[in-house]
Structure 1
């Protein structure tokens, strides 16, 4: 949630990116669910920057690095529970469809994970296309993309049949 530079400010672009990803995972179609882990660095360079900023020891899992969210909560001067509540509030007030919001909020948890803390956002299977701020998103591999092409947009509901 915080920028990776000396002034630890909340990055609103990260929150929007997570909301777009929630929407995209929800649009995977019938029988498909997904999970987003907050507190995991995809790039080793980001993990190394977090080490220098926050002094944590990441845990390497596959190609990713668990750096946790407890360090961000501490930087913000709050408890891990309050930090998790920030994510809940971001989802609650987002432009996600109400049904999707409710199902995601019902499953959001904080896991201690070796004292580092990870926010686990589960996106349950949805029954119809979901939107974020009036736009549709989909996953292409490990990327989230806006579905702007009219032909692709018309094909999206077919995933739910």
Structure 2
């Protein structure tokens, strides 16, 4: 059987199909630094606010494997890996460890209540999508987060 000819822009074709499954949206945030609380004045000084690196963009979320569970002297915790995919744009900044993903939409509203720490986000030179690998401790985010 002869092979099908390779499309000139196969990445665009793949993106069109993948886009059909993007039922939510994400943003990528660089967490700010906390300020110092003064109990005498009851005020917080210093610190920096969160910075939006990539604003809300169509995306999909997928959990990966079983939760990683640990039980030690600090108590029981469960962490879970998540993979997010979104459109890869030419002028996007690098998405590196230390950044945080927020997600909303999709069929599971619980996903929007969590914060996801970036593990890595690299693709091939022909990538049609940006794939972001993350980890969540399944702890809720604060109400005032972007």
Q: Do the two structures share a fold, i.e. TM-score over 0.5? A: no
Larger helix share, 1 or 2 = 1
Q: For the pair shown, which has the larger CA radius of gyration, 1 or 2?
A: 2
Higher RCO (CA-CA < 8 Å; seq separation 6+): 1
